[in-house]
């Protein structure tokens, strides 16, 4: 891959990285104190591992999350150093455009001509210098030079040393010249591919495009959904606060709790005992929009791993039936495991192409249908920074075509008066309101229904035009970017 480019061709990750310190960049030399790794031997091996992963991601299109998992399992790193590897990998991938832009200024022959490991060593080291307050810049430079000495000849370590020391002398970076187009400036400053920035400018305007990109560089908050069949939000919140967690009620969802510094809550006894599920706040809105009632027949067309299925089961107080379908047979177990953990007996799983359900399902009269469609995922870049480099405009168009077919097909399974919710975790209207508008044009027996309060009262500011659904963007509430539309069969 061209080093100066956008890294297209990288494959995806799925993680909760906390990939930056939340600043857009830090002034060189303006460091905060901290307890982080100061560049000892263990940190050197953390950097070796991070470098190896970055090279494989760039050169072989490897999945960084899978490589991270396997590399960390094989290593004997402390928890702190494993955290450093994770941060270095995701942070460097996330800030790639900005890092490359700066490096181009200092590498006389251009970074594309460097050996992959040298290019990635410079990126990784610059990431520490620019974005990690807790690592002193001189430690980042020294470690880079040590690695360069181990892996290459003296000329290379001298070049690495020279480039990074020049960067340190240069002060506050990146220096972005006046006169760039807004798309180019945002692309460099917030490290996003220019096609995507241009697309967001066209869809939402310059200010919103910039706000989306800035929010995408923030570490995602941890939020959990309370299983209200077992405990109230207030009671769980009190337990969490008693145990010293920084927990607060979600402003987005009445079922959500936002937790800071609580570690991985999927390892907690609350999770094990079925009191909570880890879920982004925006995803919690979907079941609320479906509003299934106890006793109803519900179809979840693209259900794995089952987060929204389970939430619907909770809202139905486990009375009625939910058929939770996903294309991939191996994912059915993920759904049934969730349902079992949460004590939900009404969930039945199936594995079929949702396009075929109209031919294979015996009953065609569901009260509620959820189509949480496969999508480009461009609303979840905070969690999966690889996505922004991997996706191309044509991916948006091709998934939109599938979404339209899925909506058309599953709509046949809804009974008159029933409600169908269409949702995605993307910011792109090609996949969202345009899919819905095309569907409504073709299907006069369906209408778009407006959301009702209390959900509406909380989210009115995210509404698109009348009847086009709601579009949460990452900067609105710090959630994933998410689209929800509610349709009803009127005849």
Ligand X SMILES: C[S@@+](CC[C@H](N)C(=O)[O-])C[C@H]1O[C@@H](n2cnc3c(N)ncnc32)[C@H](O)[C@@H]1O
What residues act catalytically? 425
Q: Which is nearer to ligand X, 308 or 489 (CB)?
A: 308
Burial of residue 155 (number of CB atoms within 10 Å: 0-12, 13-18, 19+): exposed
CA 298 vs CA 213, 293, 324, 418: distances in Å: 37, 9, 8, 10
Q: Which is nearer to ligand X, 36 or 306 (CB)?
A: 306
- Judged by CB under 6 A, the residue of 168, 214, 327, 348 near ligand X is 327
Q: Is 170 annotated as a binding residue?
A: no
Q: Which is nearer to ligand X, 1 or 355 (CB)?
A: 355
Q: What residues have CB less than 8 Å from 374, skipping those under 6 apart?
A: 302, 399, 402, 403
CB of 331 to ligand X, least distance (A): 6
Size of the site for ligand X (CB under 6 A): 17
Q: Is 305 annotated as a binding residue?
A: yes
- Alpha-carbon span 146 to 283, nearest angstrom: 45
- Alpha-carbon span 370 to 299, nearest angstrom: 6
Say which DSSP state 385 is in. T
**Which residue from 20, 54, 17 is spatially nearest to 130, judged by alpha carbons?**
20
303 near ligand X, rule: CB under 6 A: yes
The span of 17-25, 219-227, 321-329, 379-387 binding ligand X (CB under 6 A) equals 321-329
- Judged by CB under 6 A, the residue of 193, 220, 292, 306 near ligand X is 306
Give the residue ranges of DSSP H helices in 355-392.
357-360, 386-390
- Alpha-carbon span 36 to 31, nearest angstrom: 12
- Judged by CB under 6 A, the residue of 36, 39, 292, 307 near ligand X is 307
Q: Which is nearer to ligand X, 408 or 447 (CB)?
A: 408
10 near ligand X, rule: CB under 6 A: no
Q: Which is nearer to ligand X, 306 or 385 (CB)?
A: 306
CB of 177 to ligand X, least distance (A): 40
350: β partners: 325
487: β partners: 420, 448
- Alpha-carbon span 144 to 159, nearest angstrom: 11
CB of 377 to ligand X, least distance (A): 8
- Judged by CB under 6 A, the residue of 47, 331, 388, 458 near ligand X is 331
Element (H, E) at 118: helix 116-131
Q: Is 303 annotated as a binding residue?
A: yes
Q: Is 304 annotated as a binding residue?
A: yes
Q: Is 416 annotated as a binding residue?
A: no
Token pair, residue 241, equals 């606060």
Q: Which is nearer to ligand X, 307 or 469 (CB)?
A: 307
247: β partners: 259
Start-to-end CA distance of the chain, whole Å, equals 54
CB of 314 to ligand X, least distance (A): 13
CB of 58 to ligand X, least distance (A): 27
Q: Is 308 annotated as a binding residue?
A: yes
Q: Which is nearer to ligand X, 52 or 395 (CB)?
A: 395
- Judged by CB under 6 A, the residue of 87, 143, 210, 326 near ligand X is 326
CB atoms within 10 A of CB 208: 16
Token pair, residue 167, equals 């960067």
Q: Tell me, residue by residue from 348 to 387, as one string, x for binding to ligand X by CB under 6 A and - for no binding.
A: -----xxx----------------x-x-------------
CB of 283 to ligand X, least distance (A): 6
Burial of residue 161 (number of CB atoms within 10 Å: 0-12, 13-18, 19+): middle
Return the SS3 of 346: coil
CB of 348 to ligand X, least distance (A): 15
Q: Do residues 89 and 128 touch, judged by C-beta distance below 8 A?
A: no
Q: Which is nearer to ligand X, 109 or 328 (CB)?
A: 328
- Judged by CB under 6 A, the residue of 57, 88, 259, 304 near ligand X is 304
The span of 17-25, 29-37, 91-99, 347-355 binding ligand X (CB under 6 A) equals 347-355
Count CA within 13 A, CB hemisphere, residue 185: 13
Count CA within 13 A, CB hemisphere, residue 17: 30
DSSP for 297-336, written as a single string: EEEESS-TT-HHHHHHHHHTTT-SEEEEE-S-GGGHHHHH
Say which DSSP state 21 is in. -
The span of 22-30, 62-70, 236-244, 327-335 binding ligand X (CB under 6 A) equals 327-335
Q: Tell me, residue by residue from 242 to 281, as one string, x for binding to ligand X by CB under 6 A and - for no binding.
A: ----------------------------------------
CB of 355 to ligand X, least distance (A): 6
328 near ligand X, rule: CB under 6 A: yes
Q: Is 385 annotated as a binding residue?
A: no
Residue nearest to ligand X (CB): 302
Token pair, residue 16, equals 């909760």
Q: Is 326 annotated as a binding residue?
A: yes
Give the residue ranges of DSSP H helices in 380-473.
386-390, 393-411, 433-442, 455-459
CB of 69 to ligand X, least distance (A): 20
Which residues inside 67-126 make contact with ligand X, applying CB under 6 A?
A: none
**Which residue from 82, 267, 212 is spatially nearest to 475, judged by alpha carbons?**
212
Residues that bind ligand X (CB under 6 A): 283, 302-308, 326-328, 331, 353-355, 372, 374
Binding-site residue positions: 302-308, 326, 353, 372
Q: Which residues are annotated as a binding site for S-adenosyl-L-methionine?
A: 302-308, 326, 353, 372
């Amino acid at each position: 891959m061209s080093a100066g480019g956008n890294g297209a061709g990288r494959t995806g990750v799925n993680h909760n990285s906390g990939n930056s310190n939340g600043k857009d960049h830090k002034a060189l030399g303006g460091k905060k104190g901290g307890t982080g790794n100061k560049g000892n031997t263990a940190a050197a091996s953390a950097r070796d591992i991070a470098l190896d992963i970055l090279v494989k991601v760039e050169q072989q299109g490897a999945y960084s999350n899978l490589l991270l998992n396997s590399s960390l399992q094989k290593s004997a790193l402390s928890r702190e150093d494993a955290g450093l590897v994770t941060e270095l990998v995701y942070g460097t991938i996330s800030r790639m455009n900005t890092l490359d832009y700066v490096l181009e200024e200092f590498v006389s022959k251009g970074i594309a001509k460097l050996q992959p490991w040298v290019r990635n060593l410079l990126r990784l080291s610059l990431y520490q210098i620019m974005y990690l307050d807790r690592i002193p810049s001189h430690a980042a430079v020294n470690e880079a030079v040590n690695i360069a000495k181990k892996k290459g000849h003296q000329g290379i370590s001298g070049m690495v040393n020279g480039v990074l020391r020049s960067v340190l002398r240069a002060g506050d970076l990146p220096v972005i010249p006046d006169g760039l187009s807004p798309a180019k400036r945002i692309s460099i400053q917030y490290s996003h591919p220019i096609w995507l920035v241009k697309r967001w400018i066209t869809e939402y305007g310059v200010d919103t495009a910039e706000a989306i990109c800035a929010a995408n560089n923030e570490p995602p908050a941890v939020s959990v959904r309370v299983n209200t069949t077992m405990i109230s939000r207030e009671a769980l919140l009190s337990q969490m606060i008693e145990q010293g967690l920084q927990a607060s009620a979600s402003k987005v969802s009445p079922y959500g709790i936002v937790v800071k510094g609580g570690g991985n809550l999927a390892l907690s006894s609350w999770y094990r005992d079925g009191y909570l599920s880890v879920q982004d706040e925006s995803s919690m809105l979907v079941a609320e929009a479906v509003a299934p009632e106890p006793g109803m027949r519900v179809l979840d067309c693209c259900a794995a791993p089952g987060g929204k299925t389970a939430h619907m089961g909770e809202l139905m107080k486990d009375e009625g039936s939910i058929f939770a379908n996903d294309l991939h047979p191996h994912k059915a177990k993920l759904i049934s495991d969730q349902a079992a953990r949460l004590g939900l007996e009404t969930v039945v799983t199936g594995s079929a192409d949702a396009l075929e359900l109209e031919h294979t399902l015996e009953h065609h009269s569901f009260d509620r249908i959820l189509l949480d469609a496969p999508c480009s995922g461009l609303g979840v870049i905070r969690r999966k920074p690889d996505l922004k480099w991997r996706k191309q405009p044509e991916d948006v168009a091709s998934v939109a075509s599938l979404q339209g077919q899925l909506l058309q097909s599953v709509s046949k399974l809804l009974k008159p008066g029933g409600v169908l919710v269409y949702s995605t975790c993307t910011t792109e209207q090609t996949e969202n309101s345009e899919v819905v508008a095309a569907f409504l044009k073709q299907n006069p027996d369906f209408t778009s229904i407006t959301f009702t309060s209390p959900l509406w009262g909380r989210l009115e500011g995210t509404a698109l035009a009348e009847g086009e659904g709601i579009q949460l963007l990452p900067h609105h509430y710090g959630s994933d970017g998410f689209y929800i539309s509610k349709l009803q069969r009127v005849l």
